[in-house]
Amino acid sequence: MLQVKNIYFSYDKTPVLKDVSFILKQGEHLSIIGESGSGKSTLLKVLYGEFDIAKGTIFWSDKRVLGPKYNLVVGCDFMKYVAQEFDLMPFTSVEENIGKFLSNFFPEEKKERVAELLEVVELTNFSNTKVKVLSGGQKQRVALARALAKQPEILLLDEPFSHIDNFKKQSLRRNVFRYLKEKEITCIVATHDKEDVLGYADTMVVLNNNQIEASDTPNNLYNNPKTPLIASFFGEFNSIDEEIVYANQLKIVEHSNLKVTVNQSYFKGSYYLIEAHLNDELVFFENDLELEINQEVYLEIVS
Ligand code: ADP
Ligand code: MG
């Protein structure tokens, strides 16, 4: 179990993390979300022991995570961290990079392990390619595989799929997160992409203004978003009579007291996102068909 208790951290005078606490059980998947600059990367680095914190404690079971003041080498062997900027050996092959921390005393096992990891990150065909010539997304996958190589108990991932194109992203995400669940590797993923969270995370921590704004299951936060920030993470939403209403909760009806004038239709694949005026405000709703500009329609909130 990871126990983070009342931690405070600042790089200089201004606090970046204020009174952050949460608990994560072994094998659970936690997402840390928040706007750019909200402190997600800082929190991961603090958990990894990269910085000394001003206050608070971090424990993994009975092992305390301490900063560089108390540790000659940053990090602990039960934990791995994949930074937003990954640091690989550019002039050696993908295979060698992934196997970097594996013992050479068991060459067969090492080979098998690397092959397994190449499959998880879908890079089998690139095993002999030099890292230098890989794309940003491919490098990110090598960094991921290398972090997994020695089977950490806990894995910290900073926007792990941010460099990976949409063609690959979906299957890669499924592979990696399935692998982590199977091996019961506790993971903490910093992200601003809801696709990294929904369907995978057991719990979420929302960072805002240097603090935890909410912490709950994705399901509870989606169904009961207490603040606009939380709602905006999940999708387009409106504030109607001080209530948060997602775009997909508004439907066209024959008549209602919500009369809007269409402004724009955006093709979204399986639906159109319609932007409309409700008096002086903009509202967004989903519709199967494109609507004409200036068309007037009535909306109803469905839940
Ligand atoms: P996020 O990952 O959510 O985008 P960060 O943790 O990178 O946020 O940054 C949080 C805040 O800390 C920002 O205001 C950022 O400018 C500041 N910050 C990040 N790294 C450093 C650093 N090395 N020195 C000083 N300030 C930093
Ligand atoms: Mg970051």
Q: Look up residue 229 and give its amino acid.
A: L
CB of 39 closer than 6 A to ligand 1? yes
Q: Is residue 211 part of a domain?
A: yes
Cα 48 to middle of ligand 2, angstroms: 14
| Ligand 2 ion local residues (Cβ < 5 A) | 40-41
**Domain range holding 253?**
236-301
38 lines ligand 1 (CB under 6 A): yes
Does residue 128 have its Cβ closer than 6 Å to ligand 1?
Answer: no
What mean pLDDT value characterizes the chain?
A: 95
pLDDT at 303: 79
- Ligand 1 atom nearest 12 alpha carbon: 25
* Pairing label, strands 2-10, 15-24: antiparallel
CA of 83 to the centre of ligand 2 (A): 9
DSSP string over 155-214: EEEESTTTTS-HHHHHHHHHHHHHHHHHTT-EEEEEES-GGGTTTT-SEEEEEETTEEEE
Would you say residue 250 lies in a domain? yes
Could you tell me the pLDDT band of residue 277, with boundaries at 50, 70 and 90?
A: very high
How much distance in Å is there from the Cα of 260 to the middle of ligand 1?
Answer: 42
222-272 pLDDT per residue, tens: 999 999 999 999 999 999 988 999 999 999 999 999 999 999 999 999 999
CATH of the domain at 38: 3.40.50.300
Residue 112 placed within a domain = yes
> Which residue, of 151, 167, 197, is where some domain finishes?
151
Domain of 275: which CATH number?
2.40.50.140
Q: Give, for ligand 1, the residue of 14, 18, 41, 208 to mutate: max count of ligand atoms closer than 8 Å to Cβ.
A: 41
- 225 and 88 share one domain: no
SS3 state at 87: coil
Does residue 257 lie in a domain region? yes
Is it the case that residue 71 has pLDDT exceeding 90? no
Q: Which of residues 103, 131, 151 is at a domain's end?
A: 151
Q: Does 34 contact ligand 1 (Cβ within 6 A)?
A: yes
When pLDDT is cut at 50, 70 and 90, the band that residue 48 belongs to is very high
Q: State the pLDDT at residue 6.
A: 98
38 Cα–ligand 1 center, Å: 8
Q: What is the pLDDT of residues 154-184, one digit of tens each?
A: 999 999 999 999 888 999 999 999 999 999 9
Average pLDDT over residues 267-280: 96
Which residue CA neighbors atom 7 of ligand 1 most closely? 41
Q: Counting every residue, how long is the chain?
A: 303
> Are both 1 and 72 inside the same structural domain?
yes
Alpha carbons 21 and 5: distance in angstroms, whole number: 5
Cα 294 to ligand 2 centroid, rounded to whole Å: 41
Residues 11 and 31 in one domain: yes
Q: How far apart are CA 78 and CA 30, in angstroms?
A: 17
Q: How many domains does the chain have?
A: 3
Q: How far, in Å, CA of 239 to CA of 232, rounded?
A: 11
Which pLDDT belongs to residue 219? Answer: 97
* 268 occurs within a structural domain: yes
Q: What's the pLDDT at 76?
A: 82
Ligand 1 lined by 40 (C-beta under 6 Å):
yes
Q: What is the DSSP track for 101-170? A: TS-TT-HHHHHHHHHHHHHHTT-GGGTTSBGGGS-HHHHHHHHHHHHHTT--SEEEEESTTTTS-HHHHH
Q: Please state the pTM of the whole predicted model.
A: 0.93
